[in-house]
Structure 1
């Protein structure tokens, strides 16, 4: 209980500060866009590189991660199927699929892993899977949907290398896999820059709430409800069934998988939506509502499996 509330309290305070900044107009009319661009093009790539360059990539290969990957695919797949039938468009459907399955494993997952699971490293497999597998693929799709399909084939194949977030992730993986030691004079500035990523994302998200309509009042009501339902209930349920039934996980291992799958949609998804100017309202409302709903969900999961 303490871990759940502590993790959410940190996020809520920073978002509230962003909302206050937006109401006061302290960063001007372009404040949110500047923070979003800073996070997407500079801070997030630096954070991903420094995180993955120091990571033990062997944690990727585990039954727990396989459960996470399958539950992620299930939740995202349902949204994609509905999006295709309803003709929501490639970009909008991609953002919705991310909001349905991409968990907040960083700034919320780490404190909850510490207080609820007792070990911050338990969230590492999910973090690596999302950074290395999900993020480059999703951003490549967004790149192509935003006009990349008009480029020659060789340029489309190199799309991941044009995206700063994907480049940061892949470079970090390459450094870790090769065993290259990044010298302090290079790693320290990158770490300092990377530390701006989470605050910038949360502040930009808070600013975006100023002047916005209440959730579920606009045209995005249906995709938002679908994304929140998939993220908050379907993904954890699928993870629970797979972990206990198919992989025989019990005790702490089962708790770890279900708790990480119950985390809400990550705030950096709003940064992606804003950067590509697609599904921004969908991302903002889905992140906000899934964060609120995940509090009782995580409390129940911790009570039942803890």
Structure 2
């Protein structure tokens, strides 16, 4: 578990650097938005392209998908029902909260957790593929949809194919399916660009914390705690139940789907909201709180099922 805790510590350190940069005003007030757009439009698509070059699409039809996808969809739908339908909130606001309640940090934390807790990095493949191929396009279609004073239904429908993150995923899958081996001269600049994705997103997130109110305070506190409860407690419990009694998993397979579903909310949710000009307070607070609270949950899952 030391390596897993080390992964959390590394993320926290970069976020702290972002907070210090924001406090010092070194990059100016618009830096968080610029870094978020850089990560969203350039670096993250490059990272996902490289990730999916070696991905096996067959992971999407594995038994583990029943648990990982089922629990994620259930939590996202539960948030939308409780926070959106009853309060009649804007669709983009509900989409941000629904992603925060279900979109796990499979890239930054999923791989080290899979290696050091599960002993197999491929265990995170089903949830990673499901998120980038299904959840991200659907969520981004809503976030990039109609804004007050403009937009159209056609814009909403075509948003996924115009989204850099989705385009990067699609290109990666096309190259992987073709069996084409890209030369180093092509991959090297993509790798350099992809290296910006994680630090840019974490720095932007850290800068957004400077001057922000205490987490889960104000009028959005209910939305934040609802998303935190769904993400931290409901999602891993649902994944365990679906994995054991629906997918028929046990042993290492059951541990894998439960652990991956217990990962905290991905920083991508904050980046997606910021890059599309949507309010980021709920995403920011849920990312912070779930990152802290997921540590004892992950340790408990590993001890009980490992």
Q: TM-score range by the shorter chain?
A: over 0.9
User: Contact 1:149–1:156 (CA<8 Å) still a contact in 2?
Assistant: no
Aligned to 1:93: 94
Aligned match of 1:302: 302
Cα separation, partners in 2 of 1:106 and 1:260, compared to 1, 3 Å: same
Q: CA deviation at 1:15?
A: 0.7
- Following superposition, the deviation at residue 148 of structure 1 comes to 10
Larger mean Cα displacement after TM superposition, 277-286 or 180-189? 180-189
Shift of residue 8 of structure 1?
A: 0.9
Correspondence list, 1:12-161, <5 A:
12-82=12-82, 83-146=84-147, 150-151=151-152, 153=154, 156-161=156-161
Counterpart for residue 201 of structure 1: 201
Contact 1:105 1:260 in 2 (8 A): yes
Between the aligned partners of 2:94 and 2:185, the Cα distance in structure 1 is 42
Instruction: Indicate conservation of the 8 Å contact 1:3/1:116, yes or no.
Output: no
Structure 2 vs 1, CA of residues 148 and 159 (structure 1 numbering), >3 Å: closer, same or farther?
farther
47-56 vs 287-296, which moves further: 47-56
Deviations 1:226-256 (A, max 9, x none): 0000000011110111111122211111110
Cα distance, 1:279 vs. partner?
3.2
Deviations 1:172-217 (A, max 9, x none): 1122122233232221111110111001001111111111111122
CA distance in 1 between counterparts of 2:104 and 2:215 reads 20
Match of 2:216 in 1: 216
- Partner Cα separation in structure 2 for residue 299 and residue 179 of structure 1: 39
TM-fit CA distance, 1:56: 2.1
Partner secondary structure for residue 99 of structure 2: helix
Aligned residues: 305
**Separation in structure 2 between the aligned mates of residue 167 and residue 267 of structure 1, nearest angstrom:** 19
Gaps of 5+ in 1: none
Q: Cα offset for 1:149?
A: 8.0
How far has the Cα of 1:161 moved from its partner?
1.9
Q: TM-score, normalised by structure 1?
A: 0.95
User: 5+ residue gaps in structure 2?
Assistant: none
CA distance in 2, matches of 1:39, 1:274: 11
Deviates more, 1:172-181 or 1:247-256: 172-181
Q: Secondary structure at the match of 1:108?
A: helix
Which residues of 2 match residues 235-246 of structure 1 at below 5 A?
Answer: 235-246=235-246
Whether the 8 Å CA contact 1:36–1:274 is kept in 2: the answer is: yes
Q: Which whole-Å CA distance do the structure 1 matches of 2:235 and 2:3 have between them?
A: 21
Shift of residue 147, structure 1, vs aligned partner = 6.4
Q: Distance in 1 between matches of 2:146 and 2:85?
A: 14
* Contact 2:146-2:152 within 8 A present in 1 as well: no
Alpha-carbon distance in 1 for matches of 2:148, 2:172: 28
Give the deviation of 1:65 after TM superposition: 1.6
Quote the residue 1:226 is aligned against.
226
Partner SS, residue 107 of structure 1: helix
Which TM-score applies when normalising by structure 2? 0.95
1:29 deviation in Å?
Answer: 1.8
Q: Structure 1: how far apart are the matches of 2:96 and 2:113? A: 25
2:153 and 2:142 map into 1 onto residues whose CA distance is 15
More displaced 10-residue stretch of structure 1: 15-24 or 229-238: 15-24
Output the CA distance in 2 between the equivalents of 1:200 and 1:49.
17
